[in-house]
Amino acid sequence: MGLWILLLLLLIPVFPELAEAKGEHVIRVGFDKSLPPLSYVDQKGKAAGFDIELFSHIAAHQRWKVKYIPLELDDAIQKLRAGQLDVVVGMKYTNTRGTYFDFSDSYLTMSDALVVPTKIRDISGLDNLKGKVVALQRGDTVITQLEGVRRSEMLVAFNQPDALDMLFLGRADVFLGNRWTAEYILEKSNNQRNYRIRNGLVPPSDYAFAVRKGNYTLLNELNEGLVDLHHDGIYERLYSQYLEPYSGLDLGWWRTLVYGLLAFLGFIVIILAGSFYWNKRLKKEVRKQTIALADSLAFQTEVLDSVDNGILSFDLEGRVTLINHVARSLLGNKGEIAETFILDCLPELPFHQVMAELRMLQGEVQLNDGSGRILHYYIAPLNNGAGEQVGGILSLQDRTEQKNLQARLISQEKLRALGQVVAGIAHEIRNPLTAIKTFVELLPKKLDDSRYRAELVRHVPEEVERMNRIIEDLLSYSKEKPMKREWENLQEIVHSVTDFFKKKIRTEAVKLEMDISPDLAVCIDRDRIKQVFINLILNAMEAMAYTEEKRLTFLARLEGQRLCLEIADTGTGIGEQDVDQLFEPFYTTKSQGIGLGLYICRKIMQEHGGWIEVKSIKGKGTVFKLFFAEGRGTSC
């Protein structure tokens, strides 16, 4: 018998559960060991905190023997579910947890809070956590709510102090967790000025004691103990001891706010009392200013009625608010201003565009009242002194007579231009016809003269070709031809045109220089662009006929998004007074010609979506720049 007792004593340290089974039943209580001031392990290694004290008083009242087991929150939940614990204190109630555990009556209700650095001002709610790194405790129910925030990143720690350390170290942008724990740690670490706490952003949760599912005996005793603690005043004492020191900051802030509001209200009362004293004087001043305003409006009306233009203003709905007598006369308006809308008088006006885009527009409209009058309008938004849009202003000018005069002048100009064309054609055709007539008249007498026949064969076809060119230029000037655009190699086209002038270039000792990349392609009508090149080369050759240095240069390069081809010569150049009119039809500086060549060149470039520029210095030469759309492709 003594041997069995000795063996039992030796087994007690190895199997404490066996020892507990022999004595009183021990309630195993798990708690979050790092959740001050609710539950934590103090410097002596003992369980402490509001939750622990609450449970200890209940255990003393119920005469329980308790064993406190410090754990991480997630581990405590798992052990309770596995039956290794009897109670977990300070657990938040959720529907999911309610399927695994039974919960006592709630002894604390609190919502989690956000802790953000003071310098960050763009976080005021959970919706602002998009793109942010959030530090929180593993197993906390708030994770479910945070999962609904898109593009937020969670940094999970074993406990809330570790999660706050992640915030302090800059690894996280914000902490989400227990408000009391956050205030406790901020105070202990002297970080209250560097971080601010935002409350009320997360729905509140109930804190209670959790027991294993079906352990109703323990659950009822816990609820009875909570009721007794409230009756005895122990609950209120513990609450004041552990939790009120970390709520004082909020209460003090509200107290300061209330005092500030009272002071502000007192200040308002003083101002109202003073304003009552000045009321009579203000009424007198208002009456004086009203008279002055009426005089100003009368003067304004007089000024508006004195100008030649029609002027009117309108509000945001288009209702006319001011109109002078010229505008009334132009629009035939005889009704009251308040009953008149601007679009009823001039439906062609871009009223809605001006009101929407807040910019000035001007143009011309023709009245549909049978008079055929043409009005030039200037319409712009109208702002008040505070910069707020209050409507718009419209200026009208009758330009009917001016338009009629312009039409007559255009008609006269067309007749004058037609006369120039006829005179130019007559002059240009008369010269080759005279030469042909001379040869024809001498034909009967000198038919057998070989020298005559040689001159006839040389000159008559040239004069006929000259007349043909004049007629083709006139057709190009007056008639549109369909374009056939394809991707062409620029270098190859320039070479094909300069080949026409090989003999002339060699005879006149012209130095030809060309700098065109073989990879450059342009989308063009080949025949029309060749016509431009031929015209410009002919002009260049004529300009260099009497100069010592004769150099014709082709240079292609990119200028912005455009391909630019420069054709430069060292000819006599063009005077400044002639450059501005160089591309006008029938304008020429040559003794022979009708001035259609450069006009047609510009027209062809415009048809290709490009343009032509000229720069010339008298006595030094001329540079023509042709701008194309650059690139390569299978179709234009």
pLDDT tens digit sequence for 247-302: 544 445 556 778 888 888 989 989 888 888 888 788 888 888 888 777 666 666 66
- Band of residue 547 on the pLDDT scale cut at 50, 70, 90: confident
The pLDDT of residue 7 is 44
Contact yes or no for 145/126 (Cβ under 8 A): yes
Lowest model confidence (mean pLDDT) among 44-53, 100-109, 256-265, 546-555: 256-265
Tens digits of per-residue pLDDT, 447-503? 788 787 787 777 778 778 777 777 776 665 555 567 788 888 999 989 888 887 887
Q: What is the DSSP string of 61-127?
A: HHT-EEEEEEE-HHHHHHHHHTTS-SEEEEEEP-HHHHTTEEE---SEEE--EEEEETT--S-SSGG
d(CA 622, CA 160): 82
The pLDDT of residue 260 is 85
Tens digits of per-residue pLDDT, 396-416? 888 888 878 767 765 665 566
What six digits make up the tokens of 362?
A: 């001007």
d(CA 164, CA 36): 13
- Band of residue 20 on the pLDDT scale cut at 50, 70, 90: very low
Q: Is the pLDDT of residue 19 over 60?
A: no
d(CA 441, CA 443): 6
Element (H, E) at 52: helix 50-62
The pLDDT of residue 307 is 73
Q: How far is CA 214 from CA 98, 100, 210, 602, in A?
A: 11, 10, 11, 97
Considering only residues 57 and 394, tell me which one the structure prediction assigns the higher pLDDT: 57
The pLDDT of residue 424 is 57
- Structural domains of the chain sorted by starting position, each given as residue range(s) with its CATH number in brackets: 118-201 (3.40.190.10), 307-397 (3.30.450.20), 403-478 (1.10.287.130), 485-629 (3.30.565.10)
Percent of the chain with pLDDT over 90: 27
Q: Is 560 exposed, middle or buried (0-12, 13-18, 19+ CB in 10 A)?
A: exposed
